[in-house]
Structure 1
Amino acid sequence: MIELQNIQKYFGENHVLKGVSVTVPAGGVTALIGASGSGKSTLLRCTNMLEVPQSGTIQIGDAAVTLAAGRKPGRDEILRLRRKTGMVFQNFQLFPHLTAVENVMEGLVTVQGWPRERARARAMELLEKVGMTVKAEAWPASLSGGQQQRVAIARALATSPEVLLCDEPTSALDPQLAGEVVEVLAQLAREGTTMLMATHDLRLAASIASNVVFLANGEVVEAGEARQVFGSPSDERTRTFISSLTAQYQTAL
């Protein structure tokens, strides 16, 4: 489970997150939705301290960090939190000089000290899970965007994290390739993987999210079960935003 409490984040004078609190239940998928600049990606990156908020509490399982004015978290605190997470980025961020299987192996070998043979076996298991064993020896440059993102998902799962964080995992893909990634993430959701994702992809959010948080101007406007937020939102701003997403999705089709 993830607990984010009263997260405050500034970039200079820009107050990006204004006391945001979010709970992500274990075994569920929570989608952060909102317009560009709403703070959803910043909140996601604060969850594993890629962005350090000015104040608030972040808890993932039994690891917690509390931030306040005049107190910076220690390196060990941050690493303990990060080890609970796997991260899937918008633009894949695969190492171009490593093959697909080597990309998945890399963290196991260099960070966790696994023998290469054991790491390779684990990597091949994960590539099979995301349907990429046939491309195990391929270089990232030879893969489609959807294939690269599937390798990136396998890499994020390599260390068996408690939660998977996904930052706009389909936004760099055309609708057909995005469908490949949605299918993989949906399977992980069915298997009970705890996920927090920032997304503007209505198909992704509606198909796999159990809970939805709608952010606007750095604040939580509405949060609840996906069926309620998508089917009968209580706030006019939520209704307007979901209507705009639906129109964009239908146009793309």
Structure 2
Amino acid sequence: MIQLSHIRKAFGAHEVLKTVSVQIPEGQVTALIGPSGSGKSTLLRCVNLLEIPDAGELAIGAEHIRFTPGQHPARDAVQRIRQQTGMVFQNFQLFPHQTAVQNVMEGLVTVKRWPRDRAHARACELLDKVGLKDKADAWPTSLSGGQQQRVAIARALAPAPQVLLCDEPTSALDPGLAAEVVAVLGDLAAEGMTMLMATHDLRLAAHIASRTVYLEDGAIIESGDSKTLFAAPQDPRTQRFVTTLTA
């Protein structure tokens, strides 16, 4: 589904991603783990081109784009890639002046140009899917953090993306509220949704992800089956990281 080849990204003199190559299988969940500053969120944002790589190649399904140092890719190529993805952010990013159902509808109406009645029906369907059918007319400020994140997941799913990208989806939540979000993501994983998530929460990664990629200092140190990587990591750096966070 997703192939990143030799991806490089720097901010000024700081090289955040150092020739990273990784494949994200279709119908599976892949977790990106690593210490703060390892490059996992930047790598995630390079998939939907919120960050434009300096070099390398990206393919999502039939869409392919090559990045050349000093050159910005064509706008239509960027848009075609972005249309393949849905994004769930760490801090929800809901519009405070819109109800839950309006937040989910927004992209369908303004970007996809759907009729409002069709967009409303789709939004209600997705709110039901994430367990918030009764909160359709609620304002974000009246919702718990877990509920807001579930609305954000419904919004990301609205245009039926090929892949769902999740950037630290539970890090802003306490354990109880995080469990609500983990349950929804787990249901999506069971349905065969292709997902790529950057997370510090190893329990989330171990529970949902079939594959895990460990990054450190802008490079992939180890990757593979999640159960194997967490139970018996091969690289000493992965061992230290997993042991520290699970101790």
Q: TM-score scaled by structure 2? A: 0.99
**Cα offset, 1:92, TM superposition:** 0.2
Identity over the aligned pairs, expressed in percent?
Answer: 65
Alignment match, 2:68: 68
**Cα offset, 1:68, TM superposition:** 1.3
**Cα offset, 1:202, TM superposition:** 1.3
Alpha-carbon distance in 1 for matches of 2:69, 2:206: 38
**Cα offset, 1:70, TM superposition:** 3.7
Alignment match, 2:191: 191
* Structure 1: tracts of 5 or more residues without a match: 248-253
Give secondary structure in 2 for the equivalent of 1:79.
helix
**Cα offset, 1:71, TM superposition:** 2.9
Note the alpha carbon deviations across 1:122-168, whole angstroms, 9 max, x for none. 00000010001111100001100000000000000000000000000
RMSD: 0.6
Contact 2:54 2:70 (8 Å CA) reproduced: no
Paired letter, 1:123: A
**Cα offset, 1:25, TM superposition:** 0.2
Alignment match, 1:118: 118
Alpha-carbon distance in 1 for matches of 2:72, 2:106: 30
Alignment match, 2:16: 16
**Cα offset, 1:69, TM superposition:** 1.9
Task: After superposing the two structures, state which structure 1 stretch, 163-172 or 64-73, moved more.
Answer: 64-73
**Cα offset, 1:244, TM superposition:** 1.1
**Cα offset, 1:111, TM superposition:** 0.4
Alpha-carbon distance in 2 for matches of 1:87, 1:139: 21
Indicate yes or no: 2:194 matched with 1:200: no
Paired letter, 1:146: G
- The structure 1 segments of at least 4 consecutive aligned residues displaced by more than 3 Å after TM superposition are none
Alignment of 1:157-196 (within 5 A): 157-196=157-196
Alignment match, 1:80: 80
Alignment of 1:31-110 (within 5 A): 31-110=31-110
* Structure 2: tracts of 5 or more residues without a match: none
Alpha-carbon distance in 2 for matches of 1:39, 1:202: 17
Alpha-carbon distance in 1 for matches of 2:126, 2:19: 37
Alpha-carbon distance in 2 for matches of 1:143, 1:75: 37
Paired letter, 1:232: A
Note the alpha carbon deviations across 1:202-235, whole angstroms, 9 max, x for none. 1110100000000000000001111111111110
Q: TM-score scaled by structure 1? A: 0.97
Paired letter, 2:40: K
Give secondary structure in 1 for the equivalent of 2:178.
helix
Paired letter, 1:155: R
